[in-house]
Structure 1
Amino acid sequence: MNRIILRILAQRIALSLLLLLLVSVLIFAGTQILPGDVAASILGQSATPEALANLREELGLNAPAWQRYFDWLGGLLQGDLGRSLTNGRDIGEAIGQRLSNTLFLATTAAVIAVPLAIFLGLVSVLYRDRWPDKLISALSLAAVSVPEFLIGYILMFWVGVQLGWAPSVAILNDTMTFWERLHAITLPVAVLTMVVLAHMMRMTRAAILNVMQSPYIETAELKGLGTFAVIWRHALPNAISPVVNVVMLNLAYLVVGVVVVEVVFVYPGMGQFLVDHVSKRDVPVVQACGLIFASVYILLNMVADIVSILANPRLRHPK
């Protein structure tokens, strides 16, 4: 049994690494077709052709694309993300604090959204086709249907400006205490929580309802167990595999999909950092941010896959 699990884990890790390699190729190729000229954006429109040519040579932009890709990949394997073209700073150092801010925002939203989503999913199943279920389903559908930026601007206007309960712009600095940082990110956390909570709750409800149709659930009911006991002791443990998958996918979204929310609230995270350098056509920074986002997404999906295999013996012995 242990040998089977180890083989499956090795396969998943190898596939994830291969996928990450393919994603790195796509990221590099995508940045190469971006419009504009880095040298011209650095020197300005008044730059002479000689100055532009010298800067391109200095930045290594005249080398073939395949050579620049392998140079970039070799640096990544050594832990070197390169240097920014616009200011010459080490990208790893510049990204460090930004990534920490993004993880702080995503973790706070996850701590609120995950248990609340599972609880609401259980309540929805417990009161299936009754008013609590219909109310929760209607609110979740509305939250999923409204774009994040619209929810953000609405909360910014009403909660931040009209009521003054939270800052409308989420600005952090090193002198803030933990609670001051939490207060500063109240609105972006609320937006992220509303979006992922709705999706996780709906998928949790669907997974548990699917298990509730199994014969052993009927047997448990015939033994006289109450509805809540049947759901908690029998349905939820057997629905944990799809629930974990949904939770991990939404956690990946919280880290990768925060770009819009960070831009709306001017939050100093990875998303805002990426947008700023896309406008400057700072290709190494865009490549580094894209690869970090892809790595987080692939890692969390791999973890979801592994947890599902460990939680469900049937997945360890596919037919």
Structure 2
Amino acid sequence: MNYAVVGGFVLVLGAVLIAIALWLASGGALQKKYDLYLAIEDESVAGLSVNAPVKFNGVDVGKVRQIRLDPGNPDRVILLFAIERGTPIKEDTVAVLKTQGLTGIAYVELSGGAHDALPLRTIAGNEYPVIRTIPSLAARLENVLTSVAAKLDSTSRNIDALLSDENRAAFKSMLADIATVTHTIAARKDTIDAGIANAGRTLENTSRATAQIGPLIDRIGRSADAVEKMGNEAALASVSAGKTVDAVGADVKRFTAETLPELERLLGEMNVLAASLRRLSEKLEGSPGGLLMGRRQVPPGPGEGTTK
């Protein structure tokens, strides 16, 4: 038997077995294919390391391939993910940093991706598609605690200002004034009770007076209606009287126009008659016989003679 041939066969077989083992270890025909995605974090990624798992709703879908600072903004961290091809990374998919259990090992959790959302694509200016990130629970808690601490600090300052020496003195004076007022009210308790009782009786009397006013108002209303009716009747009578006065006035004017001239002539003649009667009376008084014998001729006076 040729030992050299047997030894060579064993060496070749061992090499083949080692090669097959290495091939299988590296994935071989079952090796998965990955797509690269970017994510930009605005918070610290402490605890996250290269080859940290990337999960989608708790299922391992890839690994963190690279972690580096953004050259243009050191406050941001650029993460490069290698995610299994076929994973439904869509436009509304978001990435968030999480820690696993009590060990504090950080990993990246992906979530989202509605059925009608479009697959995430590379946009102009970027080498890979960029997955949107949201603050982690630790970052949110830190923000809340920072805000609460700021508010507590402000409240503490306000309380210190409220409890200043001036405010404490004013508060003490106010308490003393309140005590004085309380003692004064207590000392006048009987007077206050009497005033309250009087006020109650006044309200009761007012209520009765209000009840009595109702019928009085009704009677006043009926009297007002009667006065209004009488006024309306008086107005109608006034209109009728006006019409009567107008008619009488027209008759008086017509009587005056027709009768006045006749009366004037009659009065004139009566004046003439009266003058004549006066002269007759005077003659009778001076010479009553002249009425029967006529007028006697007066003899000529001295120096008067007959005309030749």
| TM-score, length basis structure 1 | 0.17
- Flag the structure with higher strand content: 2
- Flag the structure with higher helix content: 1
| TM-score, length basis structure 2 | 0.17
